[in-house]
Amino acid sequence: MAFWRTVPKVLVPAFALMVVVVLFLVSGPGAGESTAARQGNRGVLLASSSTLPGNPSDWENVAVLVTSRRALRRTWNQFGLEGAPTLVDFDRRRVLFAGTGESGSCPEEYRSIERVEGRKLVLVHIETSWGPACTDDFRPRTFVVAAKKANFPRGEFKVKIGNERKVTVKRR
pLDDT digits (tens, 9 = 90+) for 124-147: 999 987 767 888 888 999 999 999
User: Rounded distance, CA 138 to CA 52, Å?
Assistant: 12
Element (H, E) at 5: helix 2-6
Question: Which one-letter DSSP state was computed for residue 10?
Answer: T
Q: Quote the pLDDT of residue 25.
A: 33
Q: What is the pTM of this model?
A: 0.74
Question: How many CA atoms, within 13 angstroms, populate the side-chain half-sphere of residue 44?
Answer: 13
The mean of the pLDDT values for the chain is 81
C-beta of residue 94 within 8 angstroms of C-beta of residue 65 = yes
Per DSSP bridges, beta strands 62-66 and 170-171 are parallel
Question: What residues does each domain of the chain span?
Answer: 33-171
Give 20-56 pLDDT, tens digit per residue: 333 333 333 333 433 333 344 689 999 999 999 988 8
